[in-house]
């Protein structure tokens, strides 16, 4: 853009924790590109964790987060201008759903960037022959490149500062000495979860190998603790011990701090998986119905296991022995 925008609007449908971590390099790059602009993040269809759990990670990067804006839900929205007619110098629409894009386009703007219909409505367009990438993170960074005209490389990792108090809490929960193997059986929905009984079998194998299985259970999975503990008495549950997770509101930064104490983590395609990736330790990521090409965690030591390679799309197709071998390969 010839003139730096003073107001920038970014439209997303929603943000869960995993999404927000993949989008963080885009947010950081946006602030670097427009250091003086007022940047508004707009979640039109649901909530954004940038307004809650992940607010500390975007402090100073985003000036305003609006969620559940009710944009892109009804064709009636085309009859008026969203956000009470509020104007923006630059709008970046990050999705390709026709209704949402057409509604967002009605917001007053000077420049508009959107991948919808091969950038048909965009003020600035990619070069001829451009192919929109499969990776969500790269999609976002490409939109930033198109908006700014500058090259934005894909980062190898995210340097996400974690409060010293959380680092200390993680060290207390998982003291130095044992070899900890992290196991995260939860996800955004049961179809994305490798069966709990298989995680338990994997945990037993780690116990037999002289390691300590560490289950990372979020608030939605804490009821699984009793079943797991009965089957694997040596298992640890750091977020549940002394109500550590509740004390800190299950902050993603706490899970990241805990993940740095683990020799390796085994996670479903989930927010916890992305947290463990950012923690920097080796990660084994299990995929079923979702596409690893789109949701690849940012891990320098990543092993992806796909259910499709073992007979079907459902997570149960991934054999326990395959995951056990992956853990041994990483640790050895």
Exposure of 256 in the CB half-sphere (CA atoms within 13 A): 26
Calculate the average pLDDT of the chain.
95
pLDDT score of 159: 75
Span 242-247, average pLDDT: 96
154-190 pLDDT, tens digit each:
988 787 889 999 999 999 999 999 999 999 999 989 9
- 154, 246, 255, 309 from 251: Cα distances, Å: 26, 9, 7, 34
Span 14-43, average pLDDT: 95
- 72, 80, 194, 235, 332 from 229: Cα distances, Å: 45, 56, 18, 6, 27
92-108 pLDDT, tens digit each:
999 999 999 999 999 99
135-159 pLDDT, tens digit each:
999 999 999 999 999 999 998 878 7
pLDDT score of 300: 86
Q: In angstroms, what is the C-alpha Rg of the chain?
A: 21
Is residue 2 pLDDT above 70, yes or no? no
Percent of the chain with pLDDT over 90: 93
pLDDT score of 15: 94
Domains and CATH numbers, the chain: 7-148 (3.40.50.2000), 164-331 (3.40.50.2000)
Which residue did the predictor score with more confidence, 253 or 156?
Answer: 253
**Residue matched to tokens 């079998």:** 201
pLDDT-derived band at 1, boundaries 50, 70, 90: low
Is the pTM for the entire model greater than 0.85? yes
pLDDT score of 113: 98
In order, the DSSP letters of 252-265 are: HHHHHHHHTT-SEE
Span 14-39, average pLDDT: 95
Alpha helices in 83-195 (DSSP H): 98-105, 136-148, 164-173
Span 284-309, average pLDDT: 94
Dist. CA 104–CA 310, nearest whole Å: 42
User: Chain-centre distance of CA 221, in angstroms?
Assistant: 18
């Amino acid at each position: 853009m010839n003139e730096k925008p003073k107001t920038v609007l970014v439209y997303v449908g929603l943000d869960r924790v995993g999404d927000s971590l993949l989008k963080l390099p885009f947010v950081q790059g946006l602030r670097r590109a427009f250091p003086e602009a007022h940047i508004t993040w707009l979640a039109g269809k649901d909530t954004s964790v940038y307004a809650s759990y992940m607010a500390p990670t975007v402090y100073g990067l985003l000036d305003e987060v609006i969620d559940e804006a009710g944009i892109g839900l009804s064709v009636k929205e085309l009859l008026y201008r969203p956000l009470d007619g509020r104007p923006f110098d630059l709008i970046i629409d990050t999705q390709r759903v026709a209704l949402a894009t057409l509604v967002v386009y009605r917001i007053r703007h000077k420049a508009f960037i959107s991948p919808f219909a091969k950038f048909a409505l965009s003020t600035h367009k990619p070069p001829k022959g451009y192919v929109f990438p499969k990776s969500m993170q790269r999609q976002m960074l490409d939109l930033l490149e198109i908006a700014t005209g500058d090259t934005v490389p894909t980062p190898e990792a995210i340097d996400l500062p974690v409060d010293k108090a959380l680092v200390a809490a993680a060290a207390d929960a998982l003291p130095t000495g044992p070899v900890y193997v992290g196991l995260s059986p939860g996800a955004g929905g049961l179809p994305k979860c490798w069966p709990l009984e298989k995680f338990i079998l994997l945990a037993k194998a780690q116990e037999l190998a002289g390691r300590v299985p560490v289950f990372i259970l979020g608030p939605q999975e804490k009821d699984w603790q009793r079943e797991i503990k009965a089957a694997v008495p040596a298992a640890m549950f750091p977020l549940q011990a002394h109500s550590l997770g509740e004390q800190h509101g299950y902050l993603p930064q706490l899970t990241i701090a805990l993940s740095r104490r683990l020799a390796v983590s085994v996670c479903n395609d989930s927010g916890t998986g992305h947290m463990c990736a950012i923690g920097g330790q080796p990660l084994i990521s299990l995929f079923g119905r979702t596409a690893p090409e789109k949701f690849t965690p940012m891990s320098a030591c990543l092993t992806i296991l796909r259910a499709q390679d073992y007979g079907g799309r459902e997570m149960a197709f991934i054999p326990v022995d395959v995951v056990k071998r992956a853990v041994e390969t990483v640790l050895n």
